[in-house]
Amino acid sequence: MNRFDRSVLDTLLPSGADALLPLGLLDSGFESFWKEFKADVAPPLRLAFRLGLFTAAWVAPVLVRRLPPLGRLSAADRERALTAMERSHVVILRQLVRILKTVAALHYGALPDVRKATGYHA
On whether the CB atoms of residues 104 and 33 are closer than 8 A, the answer is no
For the entire predicted model, the pTM comes to 0.93
Q: Tell me the per-residue pLDDT of 25-48, one tens digit each, with 9 for 90 and over.
A: 999 999 999 999 999 999 999 999
Alpha helix segments (H runs only) across the chain = 3-12, 30-40, 43-58, 60-63, 75-86, 91-108, 112-117
Round the average pLDDT of the chain to a whole number and report it. 95
Q: In whole angstroms, what is the distance from residue 118 CA to residue 114 CA?
A: 6
On whether the CB atoms of residues 49 and 99 are closer than 8 A, the answer is yes
SS3 letters across 3-16: HHHHHHHHHHCCCC
